[in-house]
Amino acid sequence: DQIEKAGYDHFMLKEIYEQPEAIKDTYRGRMLPEKGLIRMSGVDDNIEKFLNAKRIIVIACGTSWHAGLVSEYLFEDFARIPVEVEYASEFRYRNPIINEDDVVIAISQSGETADTMAAIKIAKEKGAFVFGVCNVVGSSISRETHAGAYTHAGPEIGVASTKAFTTQITILTLIALKLGKQKGEISNSQFHAYLNELNTIPEKIERTLETNEEVIKVAEAYKNAKNCLYLGRGHNFPVALEGALKLKEISYIHAEGYPAAEMKHGPIALIDEMMPVVVIATKKGHYEKVVSNIQEIKSRKGKIIAVVTEGDTSVKQMADHILEVPDTIEEFTPLLTTIPLQLLSYHIAVMLDKNVDQPRNLAKSVTVE
């Protein structure tokens, strides 16, 4: 066990720190920035299906569903394909409307989740092309789908998913960029720029991991909170959901993720001096609007932990704590903003003496309904 943890106290921490390498493993051989090319056999062999898709339906559970939500923005931005993201457990019992020109993407770290498997079978019966994004090679879902791509994140042992999430996003980014390029939605020069930028993400994650000491201070300050709110907009709305899920899963603190602008329709009623609010406020993502949300929280005495772009000054003046991530294009920010939120939940759980790698009542893979 100790050897497998490679000097880290927990698998979760090891897996958080593995993300730069895991992401490189995900795109190695697939993304060729110098040639301006993305190649993925599962997509290349079925390119007509993808290019003719009237709609993409993403099915998944848990953290994989959050990766699906991130991909909704990516497919719509880059490839201009409408996307629906469904919980597999809802989809399977809803008599879903699926057409032969729909592409269904099933996302699953383990490749064994019962609800996702059942949803895939329904989609296949209705004639859709089903593409799998799995981490575990040879898993049931990877065998049941028509084609797919492995994330190559390596084994993920911690029950709270970390590197599986960011590598799923990486794969989905590659597919969205590839389709955008082939559909003529992305120019050659833009495409080159995107690939070069994606290629810098592992190094930018390394730099984000250096905020660990700062995250420990935040964890120390809020470890006794009873509730926590996570806010984000656009590409970072799913990151807010994932941040809240991580905290719930391993620290058992109640946390909710919300689209920042929806705060006024409910969660704002909960804000007082006892409520820490994690706000993702990267420079390009609806920045001014998120800043005004921060003001609303401040005026109700909420405590603000802001995830911002390096060098930010406006939010810095208002927030109680700042966690910086390097600058990147808005579409790739989830790969960076996720990192401090993973670390935050990890440190709080450790400080509360919880079983980080095997939280109560949760399983790594849910193979029953």
Binding site for ligand G6P (CB under 6 A): 61-64, 108-110, 113, 116, 159, 161, 362, 364-366
Q: How far is the CB of 169 from ligand G6P (least distance, A)?
A: 13
Structure tokens at 110: 């383990």
Q: For the stretch 80-97, what's the b/e string if a residue is b when 16 or more beta carbons lie within 10 angstroms of its beta carbon?
A: ebebebbbbbebbeeebe
For ligand G6P, which is the closer residue by CB, 161 or 282? 161
126 and 94 in contact (C-beta within 8 Å)?
no
For ligand G6P, which is the closer residue by CB, 118 or 366? 366
Rounded CA Rg of the chain: 20
Nearest CA among 197, 240, 212 for reference residue 338: 240
294 and 273 in contact (C-beta within 8 Å)?
no
Residues in the chain: 369
Q: How far is CA 107 from the centre of its chain?
A: 12
Structure tokens at 322: 């700042």
Q: How far is the CB of 42 from ligand G6P (least distance, A)?
A: 18
Q: How far is the CB of 171 from ligand G6P (least distance, A)?
A: 13
For ligand G6P, which is the closer residue by CB, 33 or 62? 62
For ligand G6P, which is the closer residue by CB, 109 or 293? 109
209 and 107 in contact (C-beta within 8 Å)?
no
- Which residue type, as a one-letter code, is found at position 34? E
Q: How far is the CB of 295 from ligand G6P (least distance, A)?
A: 34
Q: How far is the CB of 356 from ligand G6P (least distance, A)?
A: 13
Please indicate whether residue 364 is annotated as part of the active site: yes
For ligand G6P, which is the closer residue by CB, 122 or 297? 122
Nearest residue to the partner ligand G6P, using Cβ: 62
Q: β-strand 37-38 against 83-87: which pairing, if any?
A: unpaired
- Find the catalytic residue in 24, 124, 289, 364: 364
Give the active site residues. 364
